[in-house]
Structure 1
Amino acid sequence: MLKSGSVLLLRRALPLRRLLNSRFIATTVSPRIGAIAHERLSPSPTTPPPFRNEIKFFASTPEQDHIEVPLFIPGVVGKYAKALFITAVRSGALETVESELKQVVEAAHNSPTFADFLKDLSVPKEVRVKAVLDIFGETAFSDVTKNFLAVLAENGRLRLLEKMVMAYSEIIMAYKGQVKATITTALELTPQELEGLRTALKGYVKPNQSLVVNQQVDRSIIGGLVIDVEDKHIDLSVENRIRQIEQVIKEAFGEI
C-alpha cells in the first residue's frame, strides 16, 4: 500500500506533467519511494479546508434542475458522472474537463506509484485531499476538474476515477447525439475499408445522430470482423464461424 511518506513524495515531486514522463518515474520516483517512511502530512490549522463547499457540487439545485442528462448510468459511478456533467455544462467546460481527466487516467497508467495512491484507502482523508490539491494545483487544469478530484479524494472515490471518466465520456457522446461503433478485426483495416464500413453503418443510426467509429485489432478472432454498436453485437469473425461449425458437429455426432 502507498503510505503517507509516499504521498508526501507525490506532493513534492509529481505534478501531472512529470507523472506523464515515464523516464522521470523510472529514474527519480521509484528509487526514492522506499526512502521516505516516517514523515506524515497534516492539514495546516490556519488554512481553511479548500473545496469543502464543493460537496454541494453533487446535490440537485434549482440551477441544475433544467439540465437534462441524456444517458442514465446506474450506481455510484453514474451518480458522480452525472454531477460532473451538470457542473461542466454550467461552466461551459465539457470537453476541457474530459481531456484533463483523461490525462489523469493516463498518468495512473504510466505510474504505478500514482495508481497506488488512487487506490489506497488506508491513506487518511486529509492526506489524500492535501496531496491532490498540491499535485493538481501545479497544473493549468480547470476549477471543475480540480474540484472534482478533490471531492473524490475527500469521499474516498479516487479508485473509481477511470470508470467515472468512461461514464462521463459516454454521457457527452449521448449529449452530442453521437453513437459509438467499435469494429474489431484481426488485421488493421485500410482507410478505404474503414470508410466503407462507416458508410454501411450510417444507415443504422438515427438522422439526428452521428457515428463515431473506433477500430481495434484482436488477432485471436483469426479473420473477419466483430461490430458493436450500442447494444447490438455482430460477430462475423472466423473464430465465431469455427465455433458454430464445432457446435453443429457436436450436435450431429455427439461427444467423441
Structure 2
Amino acid sequence: MQRYMNSFILNSLRNMCSQAKSTKPPLSIFGIEGRYVNALYSAALQMKQIEQVEKHLQALQKELVKPKVVDFVETSMISSADKAKLLKEVAEKSGMPPAAINFLEVVAENGRLKMLRKMITLFSAVMVAHRNEALCEVITAKPLDDSTRKTLMEALKKFVKGGKNITLTEKVDSSIIGGMIVGVEDKHIDMSIARKVQMYTEILKQSV
C-alpha cells in the first residue's frame, strides 16, 4: 500500500517534474504531506519558481482559515474534480506560478485539501532550510534601539551553529516589564524581569 501511494503521488505530479531529475529538499519531511511538499519543492526549484511559490502559498495560508474557505475545503457536496477545477481557476486569476497551480490541482484531485494548511506550513519550514536561515524572535518591553539590536545579533551569531543567516523578528510586550525573551529555532530563553519576579515569588512562597 505504501509503495502504491508513493507511485500514485509521483505519477500525479509528473507534469511538475517531467523535464528534470528530482531535487531533494534540504529538510527531511515525511508522511503523506511530506511527499507532496517534497515534490512541490523539487518542481518549483527546477522551474525557477521557488520564491514565487513560497510567496503565493503564504498568502493562501491566510485565506484557508476564513469560514467560507474552510467550508469549501471540508464540504463533501463538491467533488474533488470540481474543487480542483475551481482552485485552478482562482489560482490562475491570482497570478500563481504554474508549479503552485499544479500542486493545488493535484492536492484537490486526490482529496487532500484538508491537509493543505499543514503542507504549506511544512513547505515554509523547507524554505527556511533552503535559505540556511535561523529564525529568531525577541520580545522586549520596549522597542530595541540600534545598539541593543547589534549586540543581540552578534550574540545570536555565536549561538547559532552552521553559519546560518539570522532572520530576527522583534515584538513588544510591556507585560514582561523589562529584559527580553529570546526564541532561537527550537530553543527558548526567558530573561525577562517578569520571569525573575515570578521566580523570586515562588521562592518566597516556599520559604514561608
> Do both share a fold (TM > 0.5)?
yes
Q: 1:228 to 1:73 in 2, by over 3 A?
A: farther
CA contact (8 A) 1:177 1:209 kept: yes
Q: State which structure, 1 or 2, has the greater radius of gyration over its C-alpha atoms.
A: 1
Structure 1 range deviating more: 130-139 or 227-236: 130-139
CA contact (8 A) 1:54 1:147 kept: no
Shift of residue 74 of structure 1? 4.0
In structure 2, the residue matched to 1:225 is 180
Matched, 1:96 2:66: no
CA contact (8 A) 1:58 1:80 kept: no
Matched, 1:69 2:25: yes
Matched, 1:190 2:145: yes
Deviation sequence 1:95-147 (CA, Å, 0-9, x none): 111011112223345x5323432344553212211211222232322110101
* Structure 2 counterparts to residues 25-40 of structure 1, below 5 A: none
Matched, 1:138 2:96: no
CA contact (8 A) 1:121 1:156 kept: no
In structure 1, the residue matched to 2:5 is none
Q: 1:238 to 1:161 in 2, by over 3 A?
A: farther
CA distance in 1, matches of 2:201, 2:61: 42
CA contact (8 A) 2:16 2:102 kept: no
Percent of aligned pairs sharing the same letter: 30
CA distance in 2, matches of 1:79, 1:224: 43
Aligned letter for 1:177? N
Matched, 1:126 2:81: yes
Shift of residue 56 of structure 1? 4.3
- TM-score normalised by structure 2 residue count: 0.79
Compare relative contact order (CA 8 Å, sep 6+) and give the higher one, 1 or 2: 1
Deviation sequence 1:4-59 (CA, Å, 0-9, x none): xxxxxxxxxxxxxxxxxxxxxxxxxxxxxxxxxxxxxxxxxxxxxxxxx6444799
Shift of residue 149 of structure 1? 0.9
* Structure 2 counterparts to residues 147-226 of structure 1, below 5 A: 147-206=102-161, 208-226=163-181
Shift of residue 171 of structure 1? 1.2
Aligned letter for 1:139? S
- TM-score normalised by structure 1 residue count: 0.66
Aligned letter for 1:202? K
Aligned letter for 2:33? V
